[in-house]
Amino acid sequence: AGEQTVNIVIRLIDEAVIESTDDEVTLTLTSIGANALLSQSGDLDHTLTIRDDDKVPADQLQIDLTWDLGEGEDIDQVDFDLFLATDVVIQNNTVTDAELYNASESQTGFETLWITEEDEDTEYYIVVNYSAGSVDADFTLNLNGGEGFYDESFTETFSASDVGSALFYGPLTKSGSSISRRASLIRLKTPLSY
């Protein structure tokens, strides 16, 4: 009571996903007390710009998986997992065997993995698995950084019937500090049972 000004603190949480644009959030004051006065009606809205400060790694490949169910939909309706696989065997355009090398299995709306200089020199496949859910879901896979590698992004959709299936992208070949790929990545959808 009696205060003339109020500060509203907005805390930002820096996540691992590399993005290349600023984000904007509009904050709207929807209810004020009967005796409160604002200098202008424009004071009810404020656009906060979150500046992009992400750095592309120079000595590793960062692989980010994000998903979106659309406006107003709860992200927790689905669970995607991100894996790196080695020793992938493909027969008749189907993955028949693979060794899961590394995994990101959080339930936060994004997953992140890296291929670093310390990782084994071999061929890797990126695996996006639709682990749980019952709705159609769009996801985006971003690859950033790494010597000899250029940044790229893929957007795909899993249908509700794809639960338990995975998309394999690859191969990515690591040799020392360099990571390369074929002219176009192989993309195969298959049940994940390894």
> What share of the chain has pLDDT > 90, as a percent?
22
Q: Between these two residues, 30 and 159, which has the higher pLDDT value?
A: 159
Q: Between these two residues, 30 and 136, which has the higher pLDDT value?
A: 136
160 phi, psi to nearest 5 deg: -60, -30
Residues 8-60 have pLDDT tens digits of 788 877 666 666 677 888 888 777 677 666 665 566 788 888 877 766 666 68
Provide the sign of the torsion angle of the four alpha carbons 175, 177, 183, 188, taken in this order: positive
Backbone conformation region of residue 109, classed left if phi is above 0, alpha if psi is from -120 to 50, else beta: left
Q: Between these two residues, 107 and 178, which has the higher pLDDT value?
A: 178
Cα gap 65→100, rounded to integer Å: 17
Q: Which two tokens stand for residue 74?
A: 């709860």
In angstroms, the Cα distances linking 123 to 26, 69, 113, 129, 174 are 44, 32, 15, 19, 6
Task: Give yes or no for residue 159 having a pLDDT over 70.
Answer: yes
Cα gap 42→186, rounded to integer Å: 52
In angstroms, the Cα distances linking 67 to 44, 59, 70, 103, 173 are 31, 26, 9, 17, 26
Confidence (pTM) = 0.71
Residue 6: its pLDDT value, please? 75
Q: Which two tokens stand for residue 147?
A: 């010597």
Span of 62-66, 75-79, 132-136 with lowest mean pLDDT: 75-79
Q: Between these two residues, 135 and 30, which has the higher pLDDT value?
A: 135
96-105: long-range contacts at Cβ-Cβ below 8 A with a sequence spacing of 24 or more? 97/194, 98/125, 98/127, 98/168, 98/194, 99/194, 100/127, 100/194, 104/65, 105/81, 105/131
Cα gap 49→132, rounded to integer Å: 34
